[in-house]
Amino acid sequence: MGKKRLKTYIEILFIIVAILWMFHEVGGRFYLPLSEPDEAAWIYSGYYFNLYFLKFDLSHADWVDYDAYDHPPLVKYIIGGTLYLNGYTFDSLDAKKLWQSIPMDQYLVYYRLLKSKFPDHILRVTRFVIFGFAFLSLVFLYIFVRKLYGIISAIVCTSLLITNDIFVRLSTQTIADPVLLFFFIFFIWLCSQYVKSGKDIYILGGFILSSFAFLTKLNGLILIFVLFFVLFFKNRFSIRRYPYKGLVVGFLGFLFITVLLNPFFLKTGIQGLVVMIDHRVTHLQLQQEIFKSSALPSLGGRLIAEIDVIFFKYSKMAQVTGIPFELILFVLGISYIILKRDVILFAMLTFFVVAPLSVLPINWVRYYYTVIPFVYVISAASLNLFKTSENPLS
When mean pLDDT is compared across 38-47, 128-137, 161-170, 318-327, the lowest value belongs to 318-327
Specify if 244 maps to a domain. Answer: yes
38-49 pLDDT per residue, tens: 898 999 999 999
Query: Per-residue pLDDT tens for 94-111?
Result: 988 888 888 877 877 787
- Reported as a pLDDT band with limits 50, 70 and 90, residue 394 is very low
Whether 390 is in a domain gets the answer no
**285 pLDDT more than 80:** yes
Q: Which of 111-125, 135-149, 237-251, 367-381 has the lowest mean pLDDT?
A: 237-251
Residue-range definition of the domain harbouring residue 254? 2-384
CA dist list (Å): 182 to 92, 187, 205, 220, 282: 29, 8, 14, 11, 27
CA distance 85 to 289: 40
Q: Name, of 2-16, 229-243, 341-355, the range with top average pLDDT.
A: 341-355
- Judged against a pLDDT cut of 90, whether residue 276 lies above it is answered with yes
Higher pLDDT: 340 or 244? It is 340
pLDDT at 287 over 90: no
- Listed residue (14, 220, 22, 216) closest to 135, CA to CA: 22
Range name among 84-98, 109-123, 171-185, 203-217 with the lowest pLDDT average: 109-123
Instruction: Look at residue 220 and tell me if it is in a domain.
Output: yes
Specify the long-range contacts of residues 230-233, CB closer than 8 Å, at least 24 apart.
230/191, 230/194, 230/195, 230/343, 230/344, 230/347, 231/203, 233/343, 233/346
Residue 393 lies in a domain: no
Question: What pLDDT sits at residue 1?
Answer: 52
Give the total number of structural domains in the chain. 1
Residue whose C-alpha is closest to residue 171's, from 184, 160, 182:
182
Longest dimension (CA), the chain: 66
Contact assessment for residue 40 and residue 115, using Cβ atoms and an 8 Å cutoff: yes
392 band by pLDDT with thresholds 50, 70 and 90: very low
Q: Is 394 within the bounds of a domain?
A: no
Whether 69 is in a domain gets the answer yes
What Rg do the C-alpha atoms of the chain give, in angstroms?
A: 22
Expressed in percent and rounded to 5, the helix, strand and coil fractions of the chain are: 75, 0, 25
- Residue 109: the pLDDT is 79
Residue 392 lies in a domain: no
Main-chain phi, psi angles of 362, to 5 degrees: -140, 145
State mean pLDDT over 157-163.
94
pLDDT of residue 384: 92
* Cβ 347 vs Cβ 184: under 8 Å: no
pTM score: 0.93
Q: What is the rounded average pLDDT of the residues 210-216? A: 97
pLDDT recorded at residue 393: 47
